Structure 1
Amino acid sequence: MLDTQGLNCPEPVMMLHQAIRKSQSGAVIKVLATDPSTTRDIPKFCMHLGHELVEQQVQEA
């Protein structure tokens, strides 16, 4: 699990990129984030680099 709560973009995306580099092929990384822009930035990041976004959930505060 990658906890990026309280951080603002681009930090969550950069941390996800590092986590992906360190993980094995096929690994699933759960990201917790509070920055609303991650709902846009992480899917774009995954699409751009060819990673599969398995699920995205948004919880209203």
Structure 2
Amino acid sequence: MNGSAFDAELDVRQLACPLPILRAKKSLSAMSAGQVLKVVATDKGSPKDFVDFCSKTGNELLSSTEAGGEFVFLIRRR
């Protein structure tokens, strides 16, 4: 894959908390350990939410970036 490798992508743009986290949780539960989920969100609270979510669930937040009002997270399933 080009750039950063991920196994699945989740678009939660325009969704407000807690929906991005709930959708990510559902997507991750369908994935295998070690696979990477890319999440694209626009909720301003999502960077903190995903840090909290990963620390609570044991999934690894590989990266958290923001560009043009969009937040992109790469999460490795535990």
Match of 2:21 in 1: 13
The Cα of 1:60 is off from its aligned counterpart by 4.1
Q: How high is the TM-score relative to the length of structure 2?
A: 0.75
Which structure's residues are more often helix, by fraction?
1
Higher relative contact order (CA 8 A, sep 6+): 1
Partner amino acid for 2:48?
Answer: R
Which ranges of structure 1 fall in alignment gaps of 5 or more residues?
none
Q: Which residue of 2 aligns with 1:45?
A: 53
State the 4+ residue runs in structure 1 displaced beyond 2 angstroms. Answer: none
Tell me how far apart the structure 1 counterparts of residues 23 and 68 of structure 2 sit (CA, whole Å): 23
Please list the CA deviations of residues 9-49 of structure 1 after superposition, one character each: whole Å capped at 9, or x if unmatched: 00000000001100011010000000011011011100111
Counterpart of 1:58 (choices 66, 72, 78) is 66
TM-score (norm 1): 0.94
